[in-house]
Amino acid sequence: DSGVTQTPKHLITATGQRVTLRCSPRSGDLSVYWYQQSLDQGLQFLIQYYNGEERAKGNILERFSAQQFPDLHSELNLSSLELGDSALYFCASSPGPGGTDTQYFGPGTRLTVL
Amino acid sequence: DAKTTQPNSMESNEEEPVHLPCNHSTISGTDYIHWYRQLPSQGPEYVIHGLTSNVNNRMASLAIAEDRKSSTLILHRATLRDAAVYYCILRAAFWDNYQLIWGAGTKLIIKP
């Protein structure tokens, strides 16, 4: 158990809908990262927040947005969902923002768009 | 953005050493080399990281080439539980809107 929690575990929705994925980092960690992993693919980095501020951005679609709240939990919002958005979404946390930090991953949220 | 290249898959026999290579020819001086692995149906987990010197921990060893353009993750005695996808990624030491680029990784198959 990494200490990172993600809810929900599974989510099934229809095209065009909007969903929110939630992540609680490990106690004391200030950074939160979001990743997308499509079937049998590697991880695609979406975005990182550090202590409430956006820190780094990957190939995150404009239909996707994220934020980190004062209590350090984070939410990833996915809107106007398409079939291709079906994937595993992982959240990770780390103590700080930098290159020496280990990322601790949650169990993921499996999103299925029908 | 600095990228890494790994073989798609490798096979090894149980209880033998495994050497997983990673090329990162465009690495910059402040990039750390990190290795993670992802067991089936789980999130990735940290294995090891280093900057210039070789590193050892209870899970593995990391050998870094002198020019830092390649590295090798060494599992000293592979078990069936080590069957996973292994990712080599680079992380900038300081914040500069760096990109975290994860390749497809190497799928390690362990034969009993």
**B58 CB neighbour count, 10 Å cutoff:** 5
Quick one: average pLDDT of A1-19? Answer: 96
pLDDT at B93: 64
- B62 beta partners: B55, B73
Res. B2: pLDDT tops 80: no
As a whole number, the mean pLDDT across chain B is: 90
Q: Which residue of B has its CA nearest to A103?
A: B46
Mean pLDDT value across residues A23-45: 92
Q: Cβ(A41)–Cβ(B104) under 8 Å? A: yes
State the DSSP H helix or E strand holding residue B12, giving kind and residue range, or none if neither: strand B9-13
Which pLDDT value is given to residue A42? Answer: 83
What mean pLDDT do residues B92-100 have?
Answer: 63
Looking at residue A94, what is its pLDDT? Answer: 93
**Average pLDDT estimate for B92-102:** 66
Question: Measured between CB atoms, does B87 come within 8 Å of chain A?
Answer: yes
Span A50-95, pLDDT tens digits:
999 998 888 899 999 999 999 999 999 999 999 999 999 999 999 9
Give me the pLDDT at residue B97, please.
54
- The 3-class SS string of chain A reads CCCCEEECCEEEECCCCCEEEEEECCCCCCEEEEEEECCCCCCEEEEEEECCEEEEECCCCCCEEEEECCCCCEEEEECCCCHHHCEEEEEEEECCCCCCCCCEECCCEEEEEC
Residue A101 has pLDDT above 70, yes or no: yes
What is the rounded distance in angstroms from the CA atom of residue B15 to the CA atom of residue B80? Answer: 9
Q: How far apart are CA A107 and CA A48, in angstroms?
A: 18
Q: How confident is the model at residue B1 (pLDDT cuts 50, 70, 90)?
A: low
- The residue to which tokens 């409430």 are assigned: A52
Give the whole-number percent of chain A exceeding pLDDT 70. Answer: 99
Closest partner residue to B43 (CB to CB) among A44, A97, A107 is A107
Q: What is the pLDDT of residue A86?
A: 96
∠ Cα B33 B36 B40 (to 5°): 160
pLDDT tens digit sequence for B26-40: 888 888 899 999 998
For residue B93, give how far its alpha carbon lies from the nearest alpha carbon of chain A (Å).
Answer: 4
Measured distance CA(A46)–CA(A76) in Å, rounded:
10
- Give the A:B interface size as CB pairs under 8 Å: 68
Q: Where are the beta strands (DSSP E) in B17-78?
A: 18-23, 31-38, 45-50, 55-56, 61-64, 70-75
What's the whole-number mean pLDDT along residues B53-80?
95
Alpha-carbon torsion, ordered A29, A61, A7, A89, to 10 deg: -80
Q: List the structure tokens of B99.
A: 């990109």
The answer to whether B31 faces chain A, any CB pair under 8 Å, is yes
Identify the pLDDT of residue A17: 98
Mean pLDDT value of segment B9-37: 93
Residue type at A11 in one-letter notation: L
